Amino acid sequence: MTSKNKISATEFSPIQTPIPSNNKEVSKRSILLIMLILVSGVIVAFLMLSRSVIFVTQPEGAKINVDGLSFNIGKNYLFLQDEYVIRASKEGYFTLEEILNLKEDYSPEIKLNLIPLPGDLKIDSDQSPIEVILDNVFQGETPLIIENIDKGLHELTFKKYGYFTKNENVEIQGLGKKQKLNISLDPSWGNVTFSSIPNNAMLSVDGKLQGKTPITTKVLETGSEISISLPGYKTFVNEVFVKAGSISEYETISMELADGLLSLISQPPSANVTINGSYVGTTPLNTQLNANQTHKIDLYLDGYLKTSKNISLNPEEKFELEVNLIENIGEIYIDITPKDASVSVDGRSVRSGSQTLKLPAKQHQVSISKTGFETKVLSINPRPQMTQSISVNLMTLEQAYWASRPEIITSPVGTKLRLFKPNGEIFFLGAPRREPGRRANEAKKLVQLNRPFYLATTELSNAEYREWRSGHNSSSIRGVSLDLNKQPVSNISWEDAALFCNWLSEKEGLAQFYEVANKKVSSINWNSNGYRLPTESEWAWVSKISKNGDSRIFPWKGSSYPPSEVADNYADETASAILPFVIKNYNDQNTVSANVGSYKPNEKKIFNLSGNVSEWTNDFYEIRANNSEPLVDYRGPNSGNRHVIRGASWALGSRSELRLSFRQPGMEQRPDVGFRIARYVDAPGEDL
């Protein structure tokens, strides 16, 4: 390296002359720029985050005020918050205030409808006072100012006596303004002249006194009530019509004399009254009579003689007439048994026993009574100049009880039932040990029947049973039908028979005898007098105990077997092809069951108890003797799994089976077993 190119150190010394500075100017510009940027950012952020709403007001030009942070650009309002209170106002309108919830119900355009302020209406008339009615509501009389009427069309009605009613539609401007209206009505009257004979009568028009006749006064075209009165004369009243604005004269009015007033009293009261042959009522009464005339007054009252009076009254005279009526007496002789029975007439006691009653000739109630007897009440009507006689024989309470219970009743399906009164009769169920044909289940049982009952005179027929179960079929035996309408129903269980009885009770409105659960009989209501099956005791008493108390062995007289003549429907020769045993030389003309009611009834007028079909009874089956105290109204045991079947049938024919003591147990259906219905006369406590 040459010395020419050699680098060497030089001593540094700073420049001493100061350099001009622009720091202050740069600082002000920076701050301004930053502020502009921040403001722009806020504005941009506000614009980006806010929601724009345009308010459309009705009417236009309403002033909008917003409570809360918002920005208004022309018609646009920018909102940042979720909820604002908006107020719109304009002169002549109610200020509208609404809560604007932009979060839940945002819309870019919101309509604000302002309600106009009501207006006032001032009504004047030269014909005041006039009634004013606005939209069917009375407001008052002119001159009148009606305030606060809603803007719009309204109906006004103007009324005044003597003028035609006027209707007018008025447009109310509202907006707080007051309007004026002047009304004029058209007259609705004409002038009419009235005169009377005699004159100087007072005349009123529609209740307002006008003066004395003759007189000219106003009468309405729509009609006015004219009243003309004069002491001593009847008031004349009429409705008169005239043409408005007309002048006319009413025909002369002839006044009629005023009536007299009659007050009529009779002793006793309630007499019928006729005046001149016309009925006017009963005493006491007040009635008007034409003055200065004679009137015939007749009074009539049952048990009293007719009374007549003639009377004449002056105009406006008040007269009181009292008439004492004279009794019209008739005689009735009453022959009474028992002779010490008490007697009362129209609630008033007279002497006891047979007697002649002298009574007014009208209807009377006579009551005849005695302890232990039924009271007899008679209506009698004595006739004067004609003696009558009546015989009364009081019945004891027992006689009256049975007189009120019919001997024969009819069930809802037409079955006839006969009344039986055992009256405490004691007898044996079963049969003596030595009786030929006796069976082991016929143990003797001493019973007593007290409670009266009804028993069907015939077995229930197929037709009657099918009123309940229309589809029932009693079937047939080797082609011979058991199902004809008049044949007894068969092939039914004890349960079926009991439920049929309940159905009958329901049809007649009686309490059901059998209580049912799950369509099965669960218990018995012995307090019911509804339809049921007969008890074994009832069946036996009706079938085997004669009227003189004897016990019969067979349905026919005597103890011989077989019967010498046809007694009922048993296993006869006609059934030999279908039955293993038949009665030789016996022909009842029926192979299987006969029509119900066939053959002769027994001594108690009951058919087929001993034959045709065997019959279900109500009792559970048991074998138990009783030779001590009689069992009263014996009903059988309280429980069991089989029921008692009584009586022979078309399928039975042996000596043992035809006896009236023959009994069988059963539960299910058989082709030769049916039933008959029974019921108690009354519920317990109602029996005598």
Instruction: State the CB neighbour count (10 A cutoff) for residue 366.
Output: 20
Give domain status of residue 275, yes or no: yes
pLDDT at site 400: 84
Banded model confidence at residue 57, pLDDT cuts 50, 70, 90: confident
User: Which residue, 163, 183, 203, sits at the end of a domain?
Assistant: 183
Q: How far apart are CA 563 and CA 658, in angstroms?
A: 10
pLDDT at site 13: 56
Q: How far apart are CA 432 and CA 588, in angstroms?
A: 29
Give domain status of residue 39, yes or no: no
> What value does the mean pLDDT take over residues 43-56?
68
pLDDT at site 94: 85
At 233-247, the pLDDT tens digits run 999 999 999 998 899
**Closest to 220 in 3D by CA, of 157, 160, 163, 158:** 163
Banded model confidence at residue 44, pLDDT cuts 50, 70, 90: low
Looking up residue 279, the CATH number of its domain turns out to be: 2.60.40.10
* Residue 336 sits in the same domain as residue 471: no
**Above 60 in pLDDT, residue 34?**
yes
Q: Considering its fold, how many domains does the chain have in total?
A: 6
Residue 670, both tokens: 């058989």
Banded model confidence at residue 16, pLDDT cuts 50, 70, 90: low
* Residue 501 sits in the same domain as residue 429: yes
Residues in the chain: 688
**Above 70 in pLDDT, residue 258?**
yes
**For residues 192 and 250, is the Cβ–Cβ distance under 8 A?**
yes
* Residue 205 sits in the same domain as residue 78: no
pLDDT at site 287: 94
* Residue 391 sits in the same domain as residue 449: no
* Residue 516 sits in the same domain as residue 650: yes
* Residue 462 sits in the same domain as residue 518: yes
User: Which residue, 215, 236, 254, sits at the end of a domain?
Assistant: 254
Per the listing, tokens 């006609």 go with 574
Instruction: State the CB neighbour count (10 A cutoff) for residue 604.
Output: 16
608-628: b or e for each residue (b if 16 or more CB lie within 10 Å)? bbbbbbbbbbbbbbbeeebee
Give domain status of residue 578, yes or no: yes
* Residue 573 sits in the same domain as residue 658: yes
**Above 60 in pLDDT, residue 20?**
no
Share of the chain above pLDDT 70, in %: 93
Residue type at position 639: S
At 346-365, the pLDDT tens digits run 999 999 999 999 888 888 99
Domain that holds residue 73: 47-113
At 165-221, the pLDDT tens digits run 999 899 888 888 888 999 999 898 889 999 999 999 999 999 999 999 999 999 998
- Before 20, cis peptide (omega within 30)? no
Q: Which residues contact 654 (CB under 8 A, 6 or more apart)?
A: 437, 581
Give domain status of residue 359, yes or no: yes
Whole-number average pLDDT of the chain? 89
* Residue 603 sits in the same domain as residue 527: yes
Q: How far apart are CA 369 and CA 342, in angstroms?
A: 5
* Residue 578 sits in the same domain as residue 488: yes
Q: How far apart are CA 115 and CA 656, in angstroms?
A: 111
**For residues 661 and 440, is the Cβ–Cβ distance under 8 A?**
no
**Above 50 in pLDDT, residue 4?**
no
> What value does the mean pLDDT take over residues 634-646?
95
User: Which residue, 88, 113, 138, sits at the end of a domain?
Assistant: 113
Give domain status of residue 22, yes or no: no
pLDDT at site 1: 44
* Residue 100 sits in the same domain as residue 135: no
**Largest distance between two CA atoms of the chain:** 199
pLDDT at site 99: 82
Give domain status of residue 403, yes or no: no
**Above 50 in pLDDT, residue 80?**
yes
Banded model confidence at residue 472, pLDDT cuts 50, 70, 90: very high
* Residue 434 sits in the same domain as residue 465: yes
At 385-403, the pLDDT tens digits run 888 999 999 988 888 888 8
- Residue ranges with strand state E in 346-424: 348-350, 355-360, 364-369, 376-380, 388-393, 408-410, 416-420
Give domain status of residue 5, yes or no: no
The distance from CA 425 to its chain's CA centroid, rounded to whole angstroms, is 50
At 95-119, the pLDDT tens digits run 888 887 777 777 778 888 888 989 8
Share of the chain above pLDDT 90, in %: 65
Q: Which residues contact 50 (CB under 8 A, 6 or more apart)?
A: 71, 78, 79, 80
At CA 656, angle to CA 651 and CA 659, rounded to 5? 90
**Above 50 in pLDDT, residue 2?**
no
Looking up residue 473, the CATH number of its domain turns out to be: 3.90.1580.10
**Above 90 in pLDDT, residue 53?**
no
pLDDT at site 23: 52
* Residue 500 sits in the same domain as residue 562: yes
At 576-612, the pLDDT tens digits run 999 999 999 999 999 999 999 999 999 999 999 999 9
599: number of CA atoms within 13 Å, CB side? Answer: 28
Q: How far apart are CA 439 and CA 416, in angstroms?
A: 33
At 412-471, the pLDDT tens digits run 999 999 999 999 999 999 999 999 999 999 999 999 999 999 999 999 999 999 999 999
Give the strand pairing for 189-194 and 247-249.
parallel
**Closest to 652 in 3D by CA, of 551, 533, 535, 555:** 555
Give domain status of residue 477, yes or no: yes
pLDDT at site 680: 96
